Amino acid sequence: MRRAMLAGNWKMFKNAREVDAFADDFIPLIETVHDRDILICPACIYIQRLIEAFRESPAKVGAQNVYWEDAGAYTGEISAPMLKSIGAQYAIIGHSERREYFNETNASVNKKILAVLKHGLNPIVCIGETLEERESQKAFDVIGLQIREGLTGLGIDLLQEIVIAYEPVWAIGTGKTATPDIAQEVHHYIRDVLAELFDNEYAQTIRILYGGSVKPENIDILMAQPDIDGALVGGASLDTKTFERIVKFQ
């Protein structure tokens, strides 16, 4: 069985005081939740602080981005060994906002995935189509290519270390969630592509999260879909009570 994962992507929100206040309020709310993975990905300057705050808590901490080189003259970048050295466990890779505003491509996503796996971190690989691509019936082609190019060179032995997040771009921050049927259809397709590229048995073990306007009102129905294993949550992960409800989906 695939273990559920509820991950918060805080994007470029919260100052240090707000990060501390979140941790203080959130820790007691989830201290007995051990049957699913809870993850927060804050801005990189708060990763260490949050890891320390969550030390006795089931919640884990990840990065929102990472560079593919281990070290070097790359001003402003953060490497996988750096993340590993402070105890981070996951790194979001290829978020649509990074693809749109920071020129990330399937090729750069691929380099980043291979780099984090080499250092024992788990990538959360984001894929998803734009509204224009969906309306012109290209969604499945785009998603198929994102998987094929993004996972090039990945050995089957490391496949289980990755998490995929399907985030339709038209659903991010818009209040428009993909219907559970649309999300399920795409998640099933992603598993089919993975089965074709690797092996069906492995494809069944990979966790595929849904992201895009996930809220307390829609988490239960999304999680009831057979191929949805969790959620990557933006706005609704910024508030402790709201995110608690999502973590405690029924």
147 close to 187: Cβ distance less than 8 angstroms: no
Give the separation between CA 145 and CA 190, rounded to whole angstroms.
11
CA distances to 114, 126, 171, 199 from 80, in Å: 10, 17, 29, 28
Is position 123 an interface residue for ligand 13P (rule: CB under 6 A)? no
Give the x/- contact pattern for ligand 13P in 172-191, rule: CB under 6 A.
Answer: xx------------------
Q: Which of 95, 97, 129, 187 is catalytic?
A: 95
Give the x/- contact pattern for ligand 13P in 69-108, rule: CB under 6 A.
Answer: --------------------------x-------------
Give the separation between CA 203 and CA 191, rounded to whole angstroms.
6
Q: Restricting to residues 204-243, name those near ligand 13P by CB under 6 A.
A: 211-214, 232-236
Q: Which of 59, 17, 57 is nearest to 38 (CA)?
A: 59
Give the shortest CB-9-to-ligand 13P separation in angstroms: 4
Q: Which of 154, 142, 149 is nearest to 203 (CA)?
A: 154
Q: Which of 129, 167, 187, 244 is catalytic?
A: 167
Annotated active-site residue 244? The verdict is: no
> Could you tell me what percentage of the chain is helix, strand and coil, using 3-state DSSP and rounding each to the nearest 5?
45, 15, 40
Give the shortest CB-32-to-ligand 13P separation in angstroms: 25
Please identify every residue annotated as catalytic. 95, 167
Residues that bind ligand 13P (CB under 6 A): 9, 95, 167, 172-173, 211-214, 232-236
